[in-house]
């Protein structure tokens, strides 16, 4: 199949969060399955890629025609088109400080990318859009299907990584691109010019990044106002759990670690814990070491952690290391915790992949107390590195971690339900008690390490989803 991926991020070239990892990862897997995959990304100011060839064309943008460039490069072997043009150029970062700038840049990107692909003669069987950013492409394709023979047979797939970022006030940017908002009353009035809502409405198939999240978003709590629209499209909605790159994340070969290890050589892991304790100047010794690697975002529940942890730290000998960057208020809450427990809490507010790897390879547990979590990659990496995950029962966390008190024979971690300090504290106490039983703990680490969250399973599921989308497309004829 010929597949065009449209996204704001694709790792390793552009990565802010898990979205980038997933777009890069699934593209590589689909290519390995024999599909002809192209990724298109906005040509952000910070990408200095000198590509093999560059083409330029004009895109209608209001009354004017705006020049758009396209540089052909590659991301780890997958061909990648970097789409440029005046609305994309401003700012150095992937996401601007204001939604209005993002909306203009992403609407322009989505429409220009389709023009370039057509000019290059690459006729995709599937246009696969990730999240709201390139959502205008799905809306445009729905309209073009009746007028443009080139796009008549193209199926449209939307993957939802996060319902919260919707870009709802896009009427002006859509008008610049010659598009009208939806008039359909399944879409709430406030979302009729929303990039996510328009994509949900016009996609042949929609998937969320875990089976549980696919169920959660059709209800009010996690649907971010679009649950009724999603429910109306429930027949087209499914969940596909993300994967992680098993070569890139491998404790047996990871050069960031003091000692490499496998499930068979788990005692060797102790050297990594010691090294991490030394590096972070936390007390060296057998006391449990908790780790957290996270964007500092409201979603991630760090505020809950800051409220739940003091009592637990006062009672026992556990220590905590946190690596993350983002929101200043969250940083301040964590700084208070570190000020209260200077010898037990170490914070690092940077993006540092080597340090993240040393945390996965050395911490005894990884904490993921998210408010909501469409999939979550941290707990999957933690399982692979023998760090026992403690997670909240939401989205992909629920789909990937089995609580060892609920199911001692196949448990791989600790799961708590209510988003309250009390529930988190109870799970932490259970974990610290279980930690004393070394052989039980080893068993849990081994079971976690034996799970398979590589891209292989997700690759096959996406392939099947594309086939369904193509069937839907041909059954429907023109829109
Ligand atoms: C978003 C979600 C996260 C998911 C990632 C990749 O960042 O918040 O849960 O793992 O996308 O799909």
Indicate if ligand 1 lies below 6 Å from the C-beta of 19.
yes
Indicate if ligand 1 lies below 6 Å from the C-beta of 377.
yes
Q: Whose CA is nearest to atom 12 of ligand 1?
A: 161
Angle in degrees, CA 55, 57, 62, rounded to 5: 150
Confidence (pLDDT) at 477:
64
Q: Which residues, listed in sequence order, are joined to residue 58 by a DSSP beta bridge? A: 67
Indicate if ligand 1 lies below 6 Å from the C-beta of 135.
no
Indicate if ligand 1 lies below 6 Å from the C-beta of 412.
no
Taking the centre of ligand 1 as the mean of its atom positions, its distance from the CA of residue 104, in whole angstroms, is 23
DSSP state letters, 271-282: HHHHHHHHHHTP
Taking the centre of ligand 1 as the mean of its atom positions, its distance from the CA of residue 455, in whole angstroms, is 15
Q: Whose CA is nearest to atom 5 of ligand 1?
A: 18
Q: Whose CA is nearest to atom 10 of ligand 1?
A: 376
Taking the centre of ligand 1 as the mean of its atom positions, its distance from the CA of residue 262, in whole angstroms, is 27
**Cα gap 378→297, rounded to integer Å:** 14
Indicate if ligand 1 lies below 6 Å from the C-beta of 210.
no
Do strands 155-160 and 289-296 pair parallel, antiparallel, or not at all (unpaired)? Answer: unpaired
The three-class DSSP label of residue 298 is helix
Taking the centre of ligand 1 as the mean of its atom positions, its distance from the CA of residue 379, in whole angstroms, is 12
- List the CATH code of the domain at 2-243+456-476: 3.40.50.2000
474: Cβ contacts below 8 Å, ≥ 6 apart? 153
Ranges for all domains in the chain classified under CATH 3.40.50.2000:
2-243+456-476, 263-452
pLDDT, one tens digit per residue, over 32-78 is 999 999 999 999 989 986 666 789 999 999 999 999 999 999 999 99
Q: Whose CA is nearest to atom 7 of ligand 1?
A: 18
DSSP character at residue 56: E
Mutate to test the pocket of ligand 1, among 11, 23, 377 (most ligand atoms within 8 A of CB): 377
Angle in degrees, CA 234, 211, 207, rounded to 5: 50
DSSP state letters, 382-445: HHHTTPEEEEESSHHHHHH--BTTT-TTT--BEEE-SSSHHHHHHHHHHHHHHHT-HHHHHHHH
Taking the centre of ligand 1 as the mean of its atom positions, its distance from the CA of residue 374, in whole angstroms, is 6
Do strands 2-6 and 53-61 pair parallel, antiparallel, or not at all (unpaired)? Answer: unpaired
Token pair of 443, please?
């068993």
**Cα gap 306→310, rounded to integer Å:** 7
**Cα gap 464→456, rounded to integer Å:** 13
Indicate if ligand 1 lies below 6 Å from the C-beta of 371.
no
Contacts of range 27-33, beta carbons closer than 8 Å, 24 or more positions apart: 27/75, 27/78, 28/76, 28/77, 28/78, 28/245, 28/455, 29/243, 29/455, 29/456, 29/458, 29/459, 29/462, 30/3, 30/459, 30/462, 30/463, 31/77, 31/78, 32/459, 33/459, 33/460, 33/463
Taking the centre of ligand 1 as the mean of its atom positions, its distance from the CA of residue 242, in whole angstroms, is 9
**Cα gap 220→12, rounded to integer Å:** 35
DSSP H or E run through 238: strand 237-239
Edge-to-edge order in the sheet of strand 126-130: 53-61, 64-75, 78-83, 36-42, 2-6, 126-130, 155-160, 205-208, 237-239
Picking from 123, 186, 116, the residue whose alpha carbon sits closest to that of residue 152 is 123
Picking from 6, 29, 8, 27, the residue whose alpha carbon sits closest to that of residue 19 is 8
What is the chain's pLDDT, residue by residue, as a tens digit (479 residues)? 999 999 999 999 999 989 999 999 999 999 999 999 999 999 998 998 666 678 999 999 999 999 999 999 999 999 999 999 999 977 778 998 789 999 999 999 999 999 999 999 999 999 999 999 999 999 999 988 888 999 999 999 999 999 999 999 999 999 999 999 999 899 999 999 999 999 999 999 999 999 999 999 999 999 999 999 999 999 999 999 999 999 999 999 999 999 999 999 999 999 999 999 999 999 999 999 999 999 999 999 999 999 999 999 999 889 999 999 989 999 999 999 999 999 999 999 998 999 999 999 999 999 999 999 999 999 999 999 999 999 999 999 999 999 999 999 999 999 999 999 999 999 999 999 999 999 999 999 999 999 999 999 999 999 999 999 999 988 876 55
Confidence (pLDDT) at 89:
75
DSSP character at residue 14: B
Indicate if ligand 1 lies below 6 Å from the C-beta of 376.
yes
Q: Which residues, listed in sequence order, are joined to residue 262 by a DSSP beta bridge? A: none
Picking from 110, 271, 223, 120, the residue whose alpha carbon sits closest to that of residue 176 is 110
For CA atoms 200, 204, 207, 212, the dihedral sign is positive
DSSP H or E run through 463: helix 455-476
Indicate if ligand 1 lies below 6 Å from the C-beta of 7.
no
Taking the centre of ligand 1 as the mean of its atom positions, its distance from the CA of residue 316, in whole angstroms, is 33
421 with 383: CB under 8 angstroms?
A: no
Indicate if ligand 1 lies below 6 Å from the C-beta of 18.
yes
Class for the domain spanning 263-452: alpha beta
Instruction: Estimate the crossing angle of helix 99-119 against helix 135-144, to 10 degrees.
Output: 50
Q: What is the pTM of this model?
A: 0.96
Indicate if ligand 1 lies below 6 Å from the C-beta of 20.
no
Indicate if ligand 1 lies below 6 Å from the C-beta of 22.
yes
Indicate if ligand 1 lies below 6 Å from the C-beta of 373.
yes
């Amino acid at each position: 199949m010929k597949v065009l991926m449209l996204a704001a991020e694709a790792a390793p070239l552009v990565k802010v969060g898990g979205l980038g990892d997933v777009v890069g990862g699934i593209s590589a897997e689909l290519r390995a399955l024999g599909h002809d995959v192209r990724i298109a990304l906005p040509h952000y100011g910070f990408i200095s890629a000198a590509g093999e060839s560059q083409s330029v064309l004009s895109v209608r943008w209001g009354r004017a025609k705006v020049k758009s460039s396209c540089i052909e490069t590659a991301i780890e072997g997958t061909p990648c088109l970097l789409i440029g043009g005046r609305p994309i150029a401003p700012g150095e970062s992937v996401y601007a400080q204001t939604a209005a700038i993002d909306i203009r840049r992403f609407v322009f990107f989505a429409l220009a990318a389709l023009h370039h692909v057509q000019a290059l003669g690459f006729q995709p069987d599937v246009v696969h859009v990730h999240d709201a950013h390139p959502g205008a492409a799905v809306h445009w394709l729905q309209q073009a299907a009746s007028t443009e023979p080139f796009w008549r047979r193209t199926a449209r797939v939307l993957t939802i990584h996060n319902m919260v970022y919707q870009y709802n006030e896009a009427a002006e940017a859509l008008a610049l691109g010659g598009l009208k908002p939806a008039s359909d009353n399944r879409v709430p009035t406030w979302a009729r010019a929303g990039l996510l809502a328009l994509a949900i409405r016009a996609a042949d198939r929609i998937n969320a990044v875990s089976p549980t999240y696919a169920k959660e978003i059709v209800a009010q709590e996690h649907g971010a106002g679009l649950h009724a629209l999603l429910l109306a499209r429930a027949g087209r909605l499914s969940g596909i759990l993300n994967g992680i790159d098993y070569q890139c994340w491998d404790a047996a070969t990871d050069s960031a670690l003091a000692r490499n290890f496998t499930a068979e050589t788990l005692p060797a892991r102790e050297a990594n814990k010691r090294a991490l304790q030394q590096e972070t100047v936390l007390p060296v010794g057998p006391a449990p070491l908790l780790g957290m690697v996270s964007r500092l975002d409201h979603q991630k529940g760090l505020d809950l952690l800051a409220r739940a942890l003091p009592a637990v730290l006062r009672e026992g000998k556990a220590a905590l290391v946190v690596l993350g960057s983002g929101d200043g208020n969250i940083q301040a809450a964590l700084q208070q915790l570190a000020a209260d427990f200077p010898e037990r809490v170490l914070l690092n507010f940077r993006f540092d992949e080597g340090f993240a790897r040393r945390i996965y390879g050395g911490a005894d547990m990884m904490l993921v107390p998210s408010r909501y979590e469409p999939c979550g990659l941290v707990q999957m990496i933690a399982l692979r590195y023998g760090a026992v995950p403690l997670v909240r029962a939401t989205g992909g966390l629920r789909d990937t971690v089995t609580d060892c008190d609920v199911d001692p024979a196949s448990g791989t971690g600790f799961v708590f339900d209510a988003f309250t300090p009390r529930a988190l504290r109870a799970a932490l106490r259970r974990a610290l008690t279980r930690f004393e039983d070394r052989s039980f703990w080893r068993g849990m680490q081994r079971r976690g390490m034996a799970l398979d969250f590589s891209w292989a399973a997700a690759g096959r599921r996406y392939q099947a989803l594309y086939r369904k989308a193509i069937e839907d497309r041909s059954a429907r004829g023109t829109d």
